[in-house]
Amino acid sequence: MTTKATIDINVELPFHRAGIVFNVKAQSPAGAPEGQAPSFELSVVESSRGERVLFNVEVSPPLADWVRGYTRWLVRARVTATSETDRITGAFADGLTAEQVLGGMRDACDMIRQRFELYEESILD
């Protein structure tokens, strides 16, 4: 007999030299029927003040550029997503096991690390 897994993952990825912290979440919808895909959400805050960062060129050209490609790339992590003004939202593919969602989160975080670990100074204007 298979049991339903409840997913509640919150990852905070700090990149203090770049001046930002990524918050990445995956959660099972509350009260959802079995098999409904977990949600995915990513937001960015300033590491010094904790204020949410907008994904636009005026605030951070590197971040604004990265968000467009990352949203499309997430399909490799089994996430269908769209970007909003200050966050990326989406959902994992239906029918994934908890282990597959964990793998998708690992991949999503790894892609962030590959890009933002390289910065030696703040990317915020």
pLDDT digits (tens, 9 = 90+) for 1-12: 455 789 999 999
The whole-model pTM stands at: 0.92
Q: Dump pLDDT digits (tens) for 81-112.
A: 999 999 999 999 999 999 999 999 999 999 99
Phi, psi dihedral angles at 26 (to 5 degrees) = -135, 130
pLDDT band at 14 (very low <50, low <70, confident <90, very high): very high
Reduced to 3 DSSP states, what percent helix, strand and coil does the chain have, rounded to the nearest 5?
Answer: 30, 30, 45
Rounded Cα distance between 70 and 88, Å, is: 9
Residues 22-39: tens digit of each pLDDT: 999 999 987 666 668 999
Radius of gyration of the chain (CA): 15
